[in-house]
Structure 1
Amino acid sequence: MTEARLGTGIGWRPEIADAVARMPGVDWVEVVAENTCPGHLPEALLRLRERGVTVVPHGVSLGLGGADRPDEGRLRALAERAEALASPLVTEHIAFVRAGGPRTASPSLEAGHLLPVPRTRDALDVLCENVRIAQDALPVPLAVENIAALIAWPGEEMTEGQFLYELADRTGVRLLIDVANLHTNHVNRGEDPAKALSELPVEAIAYVHVAGGFERDGVWHDSHAHPVPPAVLDILTDLASRVAPPGVLLERDENFPEPAELEGELSAIRAAVAAGGAVAAADVRTGEVRPVAAVPDATRQRVGLAQAAVLSSLVAGTPVPEGFDRVRMGVQARALAGKRADVVAKVAPELPEILGEGYRSAFLAYAQERPMTGGYRRDALDFAGQLLREGGPGDRASRRRLRAWWQHRAGPAPRRTGLLRRA
């Protein structure tokens, strides 16, 4: 089956909706699946669909690399978005986003971000079965994305290219290759992007992501908030010398520049692909799911225990598991806390407005003691409730506003602790 040619696209975000609508040469867009509601799609997105612009939903919360089987509700929601948008495919990540729970007899924890799975046979077996479950539940083909990583698992048994090849070969899943993430793993883990590309089944590529980031203290942060660097475009050209990618998409999630700058980045992406000069590969993959052996519960438990130990160290302050780089684990922990603060500020913008400059430091202090166990909206409520129980914020007017905000969403204001009441 020949893959549909998507062309050049951009990640659709409400902040740049008007600019995208007027931008020349945008063949398709990608939306974060969890940020869309099938019955209430934004008018700007619907107008793009009416013009014939393809829209692809991109999921971030399935956790296909986690020890548990994919949640049926999340799969159903992703399927609904694919149907509402008349999408030719849906995409997700090769990552785990939660760990713990009954399987490991430990607290259920949420990462709030994508974390890398170990490239081991156990983890691959679990991932393959989870992908098969997702493929069975979705009305269109699935493609999965390689992620950026700040940390490396000890004792890995495969390179990234080998891991992705095995996954595609065993499940028939298509691949979303993020060349910015290959660059991230080159800086942070010393992995050669050219070697990874040489090991990939290029005929399985559904499309390609391109994004920017920044380097600090020898660590590359995949921010999606900075211009695309030349090194990432060079990897795109290398990939395009091996196969003409069906689609290439620019990701930008915040710090949006003027439309002309985004258009310039799209032009640079087209030039990088043209410089590669490869022709489209003959697609010998059918996209059909081949039989995958059921994964024993013992395998899922081994993967689950390892992931729970890592996530607990990152978000709950438990000891760093043996074999992990403590410095890099610290960097990852701070990155997760910062990401958590940023997303809570987006889903509950009233909180930074009420707390002002003290919002971020207050939230990070809260996050050190309270791992996230639900979604970001629950996290926002829990943070506000904790502040109120502790008697903050400092001035009376802000306290009244915070209490009113909390009551409107959660019910009666939380009681202070006994010590604070006596004080």
Structure 2
Amino acid sequence: MTRLGTGIGWRPEIADVVERMPGIDWVEAVSENLCPGHLPDSLLRLRERGVTVVPHGVSLGLGGAERPDAGRLAALAERAQVLGSPLVTEHIAFVRAGGPLTASPLLEAGHLLPVPRTRDALDVLCENVRIAQDALPVPLAVENIAALISWPDEEMTEGQFLYELADRTGVRLLIDVANLHTNHVNRGEDPAEALAALPLEAIAYVHVAGGFERDGVWHDSHAHPVPQPVLDILADLASRVAPPGVLLERDEDFPEGEELEDEVRAIRAAVEKGRASATALAGSGTATPRAARDGSGTGSGAGAAVRQRLGLAQTALLSALVAGTPVPEGFDRVRLGVQARALAGKRADVVAKVAPELPVILGPEYRRAFLAYADGCPMTGGYRRDALDFVEHLMRNGRPQDLDVRLELREWWQERSGPVPRSERPGARLARATRRVLLRR
């Protein structure tokens, strides 16, 4: 197993800080944000210095009812090869539902959603993981996710579910201790019990991140300092096994470099505390017990009927979250409402990043207008498609009322909606000049 050491999530906003940070052995970059032919100079410099770069995927949807998309797998494989990565990582989650399997419109969550811990879902996940493993040139590790909601009638704990997944597929595990804390607050699940049930030899590395609590719900924001309970879970994990790598994740509201360095030091200290505890236990002859796993570890393949059952259940849940359809039986309506608002807010935030001109054009009205659009218009493609659909929705409904703003939005949409940018089409310069003359009159 590759020994990674101490790392930090590489993001363009903190690229310079990461390059200067002492003691960073490796970084992790979101795979979908990388173009193999045009890698950021910062990542290239880190690679030249011998810093390992691991691509971290977010869009495969290995926990979904459909088989993994071959194009997405090929893209993840290409990034691993270009970066010379020792492994790649993804999530135990579904990110879309619907489509031909359920004879319903395809819906995109734009977020990682939990899979039910049932035998059906496990069979599908195991088969999807095997498909991914066969398509990738390096080992795959999969991450446990944070969740605001729980599926009814689950058949296994998280630890049992992850144990069987690793046992049946040989996949490695990326354990996010912040997500264990999130599930402790939101779903009442004991992190220590989850850790005790894990196949510790399968751990590839560990994520650590911050969040915040509001009205009894923990939000895994990746935009706040790492709290002490998360560091305590990290120390507990380190007392059971020496993690091959530990990485700080931060995606929003980036602090100054010194504060990030302090967080990395706190993470190292928690690991050292856990390892010291393990040494003391070994000296006393006391071992940390692992909970017995539930199941034979063999399992069956995922037939068409199993995939369809899972697909229908996931579509019903996602439709309730993003399209306002009735809440499926057994789910907590209040928690689903919290999750639905979080999904809409994330859509607004990400669209503002991929299309930064829109908040500028619309000003303070951007967020209100986007949330109103999101309330009745589920996302059916990626975030760039969502930005185009949002503007088209505004134009179709004669919004906003300011004519100059509408004209600016129309020009923005026309520039990006075709296969070739409007500014590069024949006659584009003449058209813009004519429009400027007309607006002066």
Q: TM-score range by the shorter chain?
A: over 0.9
Q: Could you say what secondary structure the match of 2:413 adopts?
A: helix
Identity over the aligned pairs, expressed in percent? 82
Displacement of 1:72:
0.2
Q: How many residues align?
A: 402
Q: Is it true that 1:32 corresponds to 2:30 in the alignment?
A: yes
Q: Could you say what secondary structure the match of 1:391 adopts?
A: coil
Distance across 2 between alignment mates of 1:25 and 1:103: 48
Opposite residue 382 of structure 2, the aligned amino acid is: G
The alignment's C-alpha RMSD in Å is 1.5
Structure 2: gaps of 5 or more residues: 283-296, 423-441
Q: Is it true that 1:119 corresponds to 2:126 in the alignment?
A: no
TM-score scaled by structure 2?
A: 0.90
Distance across 1 between alignment mates of 2:10 and 2:404: 38
Larger Rg: 2
Deviations 1:153-201 (A, max 9, x none): 0000000000000000000000000000000000000000000000000
Q: Does the 8 Å contact 1:67/1:303 carry over to 2?
A: yes
Give the structure 1 partner of residue 403 of structure 2. 396
Displacement of 1:266:
0.1
Q: Could you say what secondary structure the match of 1:55 adopts?
A: strand
TM-score scaled by structure 1?
A: 0.93
Distance across 2 between alignment mates of 1:30 and 1:291: 33
Structure 1: gaps of 5 or more residues: 281-289, 413-423
Opposite residue 391 of structure 1, the aligned amino acid is: G
Map 1:308-319 onto structure 2 (within 5 A): 308-319=315-326
Distance across 1 between alignment mates of 2:110 and 2:97: 11
Deviations 1:203-249 (A, max 9, x none): 10000000000000000000000000000000000000000100000
Q: Is it true that 1:329 corresponds to 2:336 in the alignment?
A: yes
Displacement of 1:397:
2.4
Q: Could you say what secondary structure the match of 1:321 adopts?
A: coil
Give the structure 2 partner of residue 376 of structure 1. 383
Map 1:18-417 onto structure 2 (within 5 A): 18-277=16-275, 278=278, 293-411=300-418
Deviations 1:353-381 (A, max 9, x none): 11111111100000011000111100000
Opposite residue 16 of structure 1, the aligned amino acid is: I
Q: Could you say what secondary structure the match of 1:150 adopts?
A: coil
Q: Could you say what secondary structure the match of 1:111 adopts?
A: strand
Opposite residue 43 of structure 1, the aligned amino acid is: D
Q: Could you say what secondary structure the match of 1:313 adopts?
A: helix
Displacement of 1:395:
2.0
Distance across 2 between alignment mates of 1:346 and 1:124: 35
Give the structure 2 partner of residue 421 of structure 1. none
Opposite residue 276 of structure 1, the aligned amino acid is: G
Displacement of 1:396:
2.5
Q: Does the 8 Å contact 1:104/1:304 carry over to 2?
A: yes
Opposite residue 402 of structure 1, the aligned amino acid is: L
Displacement of 1:292:
7.5
Distance across 2 between alignment mates of 1:63 and 1:379: 19
Q: Could you say what secondary structure the match of 2:363 adopts?
A: helix
Deviations 1:107-160 (A, max 9, x none): 110000000000000000000000000000000000000000000000000000
Q: Does the 8 Å contact 1:132/1:292 carry over to 2?
A: no
Distance across 2 between alignment mates of 1:197 and 1:386: 47
Q: Could you say what secondary structure the match of 1:52 adopts?
A: coil
Q: Could you say what secondary structure the match of 1:107 adopts?
A: strand
Displacement of 1:106:
1.2
Q: Does the 8 Å contact 1:128/1:292 carry over to 2?
A: no
Q: Does the 8 Å contact 1:66/1:96 carry over to 2?
A: yes
Q: Could you say what secondary structure the match of 1:110 adopts?
A: strand
Distance across 2 between alignment mates of 1:311 and 1:129: 22
